[in-house]
């Protein structure tokens, strides 16, 4: 078992903010390269409204194609975002149609900022939590793991700085709902080592039991606006965090975190994350060579789509 879990979110976070829609076959190849790169999990898509995120409107087709692809290496998980019961219907149908588990985990997502929550999901934070109640119950009934995302864990593109206590409060609400893990999202890359550690401390204080003893239950999801994400990873490793999201080639960004003239930033690059983790003496399963191949492929498909979408 590796010291640190790495989740590549490029097929979801990476592609949702691209101006063009990437062809299904290219998405499948990207997922396949990442699956074979040694990362622990690939976040493959989102079952959200296609009106809100047209880039991922092919979520069902993508998952059905994954069901026909050669089996993934043992231990690698696939996850997908699910905002509500309708998304959950689709996630469960993927596994039912395949007759086996293609998706291992669903991820519900809310925020520590009311304004961002409304802009991203047309609901208050409390309304999102209520939406998640049946989703989490159905995931458990179908033996799926559940991740709960808290966006704007450091700052909101509309409200500015977010207090660690707000993040801790929403994390507690998600833990009470029964999610298996919480991913703390620095949506606009405002993190620096000091505010990341203060936020982690507040979240840990609000949680108890296995949330503080199991080092894989809290995950950090960093976007890298100012080149500080690697320093934040080091601070988080020192603070005991052992699970991180990243995106191959540093793609990513939430379309609803973009403000006029300012596009939401990409995630920390998976290769940088791996280097940072290894430089600190921790092990990960990811192979730099395979990741380099995936990064080069990811760059080629998004730049072709950027050119054709003008």
What residues make contact with ligand HMG under the rule CB under 6 A? 13, 16, 46-49, 51-53, 81, 83-84, 86-87, 109, 120-122, 149, 151, 185, 187, 221, 223, 254, 256
Instruction: Pick between residue 184 and residue 305 the one whose CB is nearest to ligand HMG.
Output: 184
What is the nearest approach in angstroms of ligand HMG to the Cβ of residue 284?
A: 21
Is 254 one of the catalytic residues?
A: yes
Instruction: Pick between residue 185 and residue 250 the one whose CB is nearest to ligand HMG.
Output: 185
Instruction: Pick between residue 13 and residue 18 the one whose CB is nearest to Mg ion.
Output: 13
Residue with the two structure tokens 């991203």: 120
Other beta carbons less than 10 A from residue 226's beta carbon: 12
Beta bridge partners of 79: 43, 105
Distance CA 78, CA 80 (A): 7
Distance CA 1, CA 4 (A): 9
Q: Which residue is nearest to ligand HMG (CB)?
A: 185
**Could you list the residues that contact Mg ion (CB under 5 A)?**
13
Q: Name the catalytic one among 63, 152, 232, 254.
A: 254
Instruction: Pick between residue 95 and residue 166 the one whose CB is nearest to Mg ion.
Output: 166
Out of ligand HMG, Mg ion, none, what residue 2 binds, judged by CB under 5 to 8 A for its kind, is: none
Within 8 A by CB and 6+ apart from 167, the residues are 112, 150, 153, 184, 199, 202, 203
What is the nearest approach in angstroms of Mg ion to the Cβ of residue 294?
A: 18
Distance CA 293, CA 276 (A): 19
What is the nearest approach in angstroms of Mg ion to the Cβ of residue 95?
A: 25
Out of ligand HMG, Mg ion, none, what residue 166 binds, judged by CB under 5 to 8 A for its kind, is: none
What is the nearest approach in angstroms of ligand HMG to the Cβ of residue 137?
A: 17
How far from the centroid of its chain's Cα atoms is residue 186's Cα? 11
> What is the H or E stretch that residue 121 is in?
helix 114-121
- Residues 232, 185 contacting (CB under 8 angstroms): no
246: helix, strand or coil? strand
- Residues 37, 287 contacting (CB under 8 angstroms): yes
Q: Six-digit token pair at 301?
A: 């498909």
What is the nearest approach in angstroms of Mg ion to the Cβ of residue 235?
A: 19
Instruction: Pick between residue 38 and residue 253 the one whose CB is nearest to ligand HMG.
Output: 253
Tell me which residues are annotated as active site. 254
């Amino acid at each position: 078992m590796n010291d640190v879990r790495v989740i590549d979110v490029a097929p979801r976070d990476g592609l949702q903010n691209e101006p063009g829609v990437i062809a299904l076959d290219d998405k499948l190849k990207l997922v396949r390269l990442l699956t074979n790169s040694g990362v622990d999990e690939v976040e493959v898509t989102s079952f959200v409204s296609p009106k809100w995120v047209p880039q991922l409107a092919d979520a069902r087709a993508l998952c059905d194609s994954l069901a026909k692809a050669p089996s993934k290496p043992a231990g690698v998980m696939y996850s997908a975002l699910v905002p509500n019961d309708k998304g959950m219907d689709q996630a469960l149908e993927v596994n039912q149609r395949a007759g086996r588990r293609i998706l291992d985990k669903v991820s519900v997502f809310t925020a520590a900022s009311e304004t961002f929550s409304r802009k991203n999901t047309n609901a208050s934070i409390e309304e999102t939590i209520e939406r998640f109640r049946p989703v989490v119950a159905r995931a458990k009934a179908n033996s799926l793991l559940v991740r709960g995302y808290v966006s704007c864990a450091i700052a909101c593109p509309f409200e500015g700085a977010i207090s660690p206590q707000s993040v801790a409060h929403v994390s507690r609400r998600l833990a009470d709902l029964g999610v298996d893990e919480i991913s703390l999202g620095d949506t606009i890359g405002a993190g620096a080592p000091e505010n990341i550690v203060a936020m982690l401390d507040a979240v840990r204080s609000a949680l108890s039991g296995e949330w503080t003893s199991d080092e894989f239950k809290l995950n950090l999801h960093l976007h890298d606006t100012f080149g500080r994400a690697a320093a934040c990873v080091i601070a988080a490793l020192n603070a005991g965090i052992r699970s991180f999201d990243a995106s191959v080639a540093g793609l990513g960004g939430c379309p609803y975190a973009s403000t006029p003239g300012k596009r939401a930033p990409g995630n920390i690059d998976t290769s940088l994350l791996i280097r940072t983790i290894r430089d600190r003496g921790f092990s990960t399963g990811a192979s730099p060579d395979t990741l380099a191949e995936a990064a080069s492929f990811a760059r080629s498909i998004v730049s072709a789509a950027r050119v054709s979408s003008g």
